[in-house]
């Protein structure tokens, strides 16, 4: 269901009015949901921490995603946390839920950042969400020390800091600095300019190739029809059943139907091919040039 523009405001107001749970109540609700599948307990637990989900969603607005969508993803993460939470571990639900909420939002942001997949491994995800922050800190530290870092040095330091290969940093830098463009956009500001899609090579069969192929297939079909007409009814039946069916019949099955031995059917088939070959030879040398 589509969310209207005021959804996040209404949800935020409702979340701020939700009850605050103490540790004992939270634990009781978690047990009620896990052991008894008490949906009222689940709703109280989720509603109480919806403000946490909304607060975390707001931190990702800088990635350009609609706040409504971020809240929705945060809510899904909260629901997953409630489903998987084990109260016997002695951890507060809010502490456990933070991981699921953050993971859900991050997955959404990365899926929608670009039509080109940005990355899916944990190291690529860490790089995506931390690269700009780490880069800014390294640049500030270098400036404070009176140093100037070139691009390669900076990328190498980011790779070391985040714990990823250098080529991952180079790839992510290109992804984050670029944007997706429509292939129907023109190559210049001129509205009459050529669209980018026109520069892509069309690997489909070209019109002249299509016409030539159709013409050749037509000629081959006519040659074969003439050759088939040289056969008697039984020979045409054998050739059709052995060579023109999607699932060719065996010599034995044809022999059973015709009241012949398997060897006799093979002989008739060979004789029919001999007649067809003679007919094709008489039509044109072009037949054999065409068949290679």
Residue of higher predicted confidence among 125 and 142: 142
Separation between Cα atoms, residue 66 and residue 223, nearest integer Å? 65
Are 251 and 240 in contact by the 8 Å Cβ rule? The answer is no
Average pLDDT rounded to a whole number, residues 88-107: 90
Burial of 93 (0-12, 13-18, 19+ CB in 10 A): buried
Are 129 and 137 in contact by the 8 Å Cβ rule? The answer is no
Please report the pLDDT score of residue 177 as a whole number: 60
Please report the pLDDT score of residue 201 as a whole number: 55
CATH level 2 (architecture), domain 208-290: Orthogonal Bundle (1.10)
Separation between Cα atoms, residue 97 and residue 86, nearest integer Å? 11
* DSSP3 helix / strand / coil % (the chain, rounded to 5): 70, 0, 30
Please report the pLDDT score of residue 160 as a whole number: 87
CATH level 2 (architecture), domain 7-113: Up-down Bundle (1.20)
State the angle between helix axes of 251-258 and 233-243 in degrees (0 to 180), rounded to the nearest 10. Answer: 150
Q: How confident is the model at residue 164 (pLDDT cuts 50, 70, 90)?
A: confident
The mean-pLDDT minimum among 19-23, 28-32, 109-113 falls in 109-113
Residue of higher predicted confidence among 286 and 64: 64
Q: Could you write out the DSSP letters of every residue in 97-117?
A: HHHHHHHHHHHHHHHHH-SS-
pTM above 0.85, yes or no: no
Q: pLDDT tens for residues 251-283?
A: 999 999 999 999 999 999 999 888 888 877 776
Q: How confident is the model at residue 218 (pLDDT cuts 50, 70, 90)?
A: confident
Are 11 and 54 in contact by the 8 Å Cβ rule? The answer is yes
Q: How confident is the model at residue 199 (pLDDT cuts 50, 70, 90)?
A: low
Separation between Cα atoms, residue 85 and residue 33, nearest integer Å? 10
Which of 206, 217, 220 is CA-nearest to residue 287? 220
DSSP reduced 3-state for 163: coil
For 279, residues 6+ apart whose C-beta sits below 8 A from its C-beta are 226, 227, 230
Per-domain residue ranges for the chain?
Answer: 7-113, 122-177, 208-290
Residue of higher predicted confidence among 248 and 210: 248
Q: How confident is the model at residue 76 (pLDDT cuts 50, 70, 90)?
A: very high
Residue 69, phi then psi, degrees to nearest 5 = -70, -40
Please report the pLDDT score of residue 133 as a whole number: 79
The CA–CA distances, whole Å, from 10 to 3, 6, 15, 76, 77 equal 11, 6, 9, 18, 20
Lookup: tokens for 153: 């040095």
In this model, does residue 188 exceed pLDDT 90? no
Separation between Cα atoms, residue 18 and residue 47, nearest integer Å? 6
Please report the pLDDT score of residue 203 as a whole number: 57
What Rg value do the Cα atoms of the chain yield, rounded? 36
For 122, residues 6+ apart whose C-beta sits below 8 A from its C-beta are none
In this model, does residue 170 exceed pLDDT 80? no
In this model, does residue 98 exceed pLDDT 60? yes
What is the CA angle 248-249-254, rounded to 5?
150
Residue 38, phi then psi, degrees to nearest 5 = -75, 105
The mean-pLDDT minimum among 89-103, 156-170, 252-266 falls in 156-170
Q: How confident is the model at residue 41 (pLDDT cuts 50, 70, 90)?
A: very high
Please report the pLDDT score of residue 198 as a whole number: 59
Please report the pLDDT score of residue 4 as a whole number: 47
Separation between Cα atoms, residue 216 and residue 220, nearest integer Å? 6
User: What percent of the chain is modeled with pLDDT above 70?
Assistant: 73
């Amino acid at each position: 269901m589509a969310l209207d523009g005021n959804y996040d405001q209404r949800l935020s107001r409702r979340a701020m009015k939700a009850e605050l749970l103490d540790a004992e109540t939270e634990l009781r609700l978690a047990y009620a949901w896990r052991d008894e599948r008490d949906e009222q307990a689940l709703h109280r637990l989720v509603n109480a921490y919806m403000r946490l989900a909304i607060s975390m969603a707001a931190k990702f607005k800088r990635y350009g995603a609609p706040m409504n969508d971020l809240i929705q993803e945060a809510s899904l993460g909260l629901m997953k946390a409630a489903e998987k939470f084990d109260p016997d571990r002695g951890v507060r639900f809010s502490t456990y839920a933070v991981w699921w909420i953050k993971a859900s939002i991050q997955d959404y942001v990365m899926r929608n950042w670009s039509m080109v997949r940005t990355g899916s491994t944990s190291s690529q995800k860490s790089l995506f969400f931390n690269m700009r922050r780490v880069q800014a800190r390294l640049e500030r530290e270098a400036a404070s020390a009176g140093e100037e870092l070139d691009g390669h040095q900076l990328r190498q330091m980011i790779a070391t800091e985040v714990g990823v290969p250098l080529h991952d940093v180079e790839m992510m830098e290109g992804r984050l600095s670029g944007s997706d463009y429509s292939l129907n956009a023109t190559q210049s500001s001129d509205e009459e300019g050529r669209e980018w899609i026109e520069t892509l090579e069309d690997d489909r069969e070209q019109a002249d190739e299509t016409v030539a192929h159709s013409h050749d297939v037509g000629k081959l079909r006519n040659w074969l029809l003439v050759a088939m007409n040289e056969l008697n009814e039984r020979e045409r039946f054998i050739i059709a059943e052995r060579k023109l069916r999607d699932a060719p019949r065996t010599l034995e099955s044809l022999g059973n139907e015709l009241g012949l031995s398997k060897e006799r059917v093979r002989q008739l088939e060979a004789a029919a091919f001999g007649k067809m070959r003679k007919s094709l030879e008489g039509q044109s040398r072009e037949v054999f040039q065409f068949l290679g």
